[in-house]
Structure 1
Amino acid sequence: MATISLRVPDRELNIFKDYAKINNSSLSEIIRRTMIERIEDEYDMSVFDEYEKDKTTGTVKTYSHEDAWKELDL
């Protein structure tokens, strides 16, 4: 496993440590989880933005749930 060194002001470090303690987690786990969540959120937003753009330009077809049931013969 790799190690990352991060420089932060003492005040921020204390905030991070307090947050980790409140959440019964290590500082490494808090930072790792926060970064992954941020990356996932940004990815989700980019997919949503692309969908909205495609919907606006008419390049995506949507179906009502009734049409989907009919299409699937359900």
Structure 2
Amino acid sequence: EHKLGIHASPTCVMSYEGATAELVGQPNQGLAHMFVMMNAARLAVGVEGVGVAERAYQHALAYALDRRQGRSVWTGEA
């Protein structure tokens, strides 16, 4: 982080000395479970992107409809 110039990154260092592990899921199926989790995360990121894009479109549309451009055809005023 120091080499990259990151000054306020919310990270930490954790030590697992003396910790015990617990098996989650079926034995020898860890990679399959990991891919299920990764695909769910990818879908969630995609849905989030659609939401952000929709909100940006709504703001841009409201701005464009509210903003007056050019001169009036009838009066010639801006």
TM-score, with structure 1 as normaliser: 0.44
Structure having greater relative contact order (Cα 8 Å, sep ≥ 6): 1
Q: Over alpha carbons, which structure has the higher Rg? A: 2
Q: Which has the higher helix share?
A: 1
